[in-house]
Amino acid sequence: MNTAEREPLLKIEGLEKSYRKRRVLKGINLNLFPGETIIIMGPSGCGKSTLIRCINRLTEPDAGQVYFEGVEVTGLALPPLSVLRRRIGFVFQQFNLVRRLNVLENVAFALRIEGLPKEEAEAKAVQALSRVGLRERALNYPVELSGGEQQRVGIARALALEPPLMLWDEPTAALDPILVSEVIEIMEELVRSKATTMLVVTHEVGFASRAADRIIFMDQGMIVEEGAPATVFTTPTSEIGEKYKKLLKT
């Protein structure tokens, strides 16, 4: 892909975040181009969640800029920020479903907030649930679903808004190994169909090597290596890259 003359969908410049003087993000720079899938990997505690949560300011960065579709997110007041957030889907490790709402209502909820009439919101929600293979479970409640199914609802909820960008924070980390593949399959289908641009934090090396246009390795709040999977998993230059390479072989 020739990215040289294209505008990035997401541009991150000099992003910094500290908790009590401990620097968790130490000047992150990153461009994400339309249609790309970037996968972020790195050891627990290196700042991956903080980085992706800073993009739509679920976590407030201390310094640096984030631009989405050319708009500076870091400069926005809350009302326009809320509008912009609806264009960025977020899939959480812990699903974050609303327990007292059924599956359909969980997915339709954000569409209703968008101002869509009930029927239209529900029609779109059913469509999104079909994409993750859960149309039949629309009237179930989250507790009645397996972890994998709950996460698929989480994906449908994000997809329903047809976001140009989706952020994924270890979407399979809370799942039993057997349930991981059903979520991975859906993610790969989204990548294949170029449904959206994706920034994914995951430790799933197999998925990463198949799906990523670019892999980013983070360590201690910095990007330590970046490149195509074929490169970084075969001839890594960083210590972290070396560790993931070994993981891919096992």
Residues that bind Mg ion (CB under 5 A): 49
**3-state class of 102 per DSSP?**
coil
CA angle (224, 212, 198) in 5-degree steps? 95
Q: Is 44 in the site for ligand ADP (CB under 6 A)?
A: yes
With respect to Mg ion, which residue has the nearer C-beta, 50 or 196?
A: 50
Q: How far apart are the first and last CA of the chain?
A: 31
The binder of 50, among Mg ion, ligand ADP, none, by C-beta within 5 to 8 A per type, is: ligand ADP
With respect to ligand ADP, which residue has the nearer C-beta, 221 or 236?
A: 221
- The residue from 11, 41, 47, 56 that contacts ligand ADP (CB under 6 A) is 47
Map residues 49-68 to x or -, x wherever contact with ligand ADP holds by CB under 6 A.
xx------------------
The binder of 206, among ligand ADP, Mg ion, none, by C-beta within 5 to 8 A per type, is: none
Residue 113 DSSP class: H
With respect to ligand ADP, which residue has the nearer C-beta, 106 or 202?
A: 202
Phi, psi of 115 (to 5 degrees): 100, 5
Give the up-direction half-sphere exposure of residue 193: CA atoms within 13 A in the CB hemisphere.
9
For 5, the token pair is 């003359």
With respect to Mg ion, which residue has the nearer C-beta, 33 or 92?
A: 92
Tell the smallest beta-carbon distance from residue 93 to ligand ADP (Å). 9
With respect to ligand ADP, which residue has the nearer C-beta, 173 or 195?
A: 173
Scanning residues 2 to 21, which ones bind ligand ADP (CB under 6 A)? 19
Neighbours of 235 (CB within 10 A): 11
Tell the smallest beta-carbon distance from residue 46 to Mg ion (Å). 9
The binder of 187, among Mg ion, ligand ADP, none, by C-beta within 5 to 8 A per type, is: none
Amino acid at 169: D
- The residue from 10, 12, 41, 48 that contacts ligand ADP (CB under 6 A) is 48
The rounded Cα 11 to chain-centroid distance in angstroms is 15
The rounded Cα 205 to chain-centroid distance in angstroms is 16
Tell the smallest beta-carbon distance from residue 125 to ligand ADP (Å). 30
Q: Which helix (H) or strand (E) element contains residue 153?
A: helix 147-159
Contacts of 196 (CB under 8 A, 6+ apart): 89, 159, 162, 163, 164, 165, 166, 190
Residue number of the CB atom closest to Mg ion: 49
* Residue ranges in contact with ligand ADP by CB under 6 A: 19, 24, 42, 44-50
